[in-house]
Amino acid sequence: MSDWLSPEEWTAVRLSLIVATTAMLASLPLGLAIAWLLARGRFWGKSLLDAVIHLPLILPPVVTGYLLLIGFGRRGPIGQFLYDWFGIVLSFRWTGAALACAVMGFPLMVRAIRLSIEAIDRKLEDAAGTLGAGPFWVFLTVTLPLALPGILAGMILCFAKAMGEFGATITFVSNIPGETQTLPSAIYTFTQVPNGDAGAMRLTLISIAISVAALFASEFLARLVGRRIAVE
């Protein structure tokens, strides 16, 4: 395998997997919270929050990337704060790539989780309440397990989106081999150099394989969980 792919190509594949996994896991807690808020909350500005969450889905990715650059760059207000207080640098680092991917995948994740939470019969949550479970325990023991298929679907969607993210990533953190050059950036680079076709094709095949595997994994997990829940 390692002689089939050049070390640079390997690096890009590994980096992409790390970035996508980080993006998926890091956005999960926030995604759950926002999805729950949108599904169950009643507060002022709910549709505004909904719109903001969905923005990356409709904005040109380059615009999202540019906004991230302005906000999270070394001199951006948030970027400076993160650097001064925690020593975290996002711009031109792989962590920045993960942030860009997470932002782009977030609406997909929230949407899937929100729909599955909305589908839960609230009467079951009431029943748990009368049995002595406080709101937190109701969420943990009833809402969360029943929403699991949607949560898994949301995670996989977010992961797949992160694997393919290009525009926002390259705008925010550029295309540095070994640091921010993910699969799509590497493919793009190959298409810009002479004789890069073979490399581009290899990475394309890998990209397709990973996407298909993710799709199958999500189908399999959803069926596994669904069978436990939907015997009803």
Q: Which residues bind other proteins (CB under 8 A)?
A: 121, 123-124, 126-135, 137-138, 141-142, 145-146, 228-232
- CA-to-CA distance for 135 and 143, rounded, in angstroms? 10
Residue number, 49 or 133, with CB nearest to other proteins: 133
In whole angstroms, how far apart are CA 28 and each of 40, 53, 65, 113, 123?
18, 14, 21, 10, 26
Question: Least distance (Å) from other proteins to the CB of residue 124?
Answer: 6
Residue number, 86 or 123, with CB nearest to other proteins: 123
Buried b or exposed e, range 195-204, using 16+ CB within 10 angstroms: ebeebbebbe
Question: Least distance (Å) from other proteins to the CB of residue 116?
Answer: 13
Residue number, 51 or 124, with CB nearest to other proteins: 124
Residue number, 38 or 120, with CB nearest to other proteins: 120
Residue number, 113 or 200, with CB nearest to other proteins: 113
DSSP type of residue 43: -
Residue 9: closest CA among 198, 208, 215, 223: 198
Residue number, 1 or 227, with CB nearest to other proteins: 227
Question: Least distance (Å) from other proteins to the CB of residue 153?
Answer: 17
Beta-carbon-side half-sphere exposure of residue 130 (alpha carbons within 13 Å): 5
- Give the DSSP per-residue string, 97-153: HHHHHHHHHHHHHHHHHHHHHHTS-HHHHHHHHHTT--HHHHIIIIIHHHHHHHHHH
Question: Least distance (Å) from other proteins to the CB of residue 156?
Answer: 20
Question: Least distance (Å) from other proteins to the CB of residue 112?
Answer: 18
- CA-to-CA distance for 66 and 70, rounded, in angstroms? 6
Question: Least distance (Å) from other proteins to the CB of residue 94?
Answer: 38
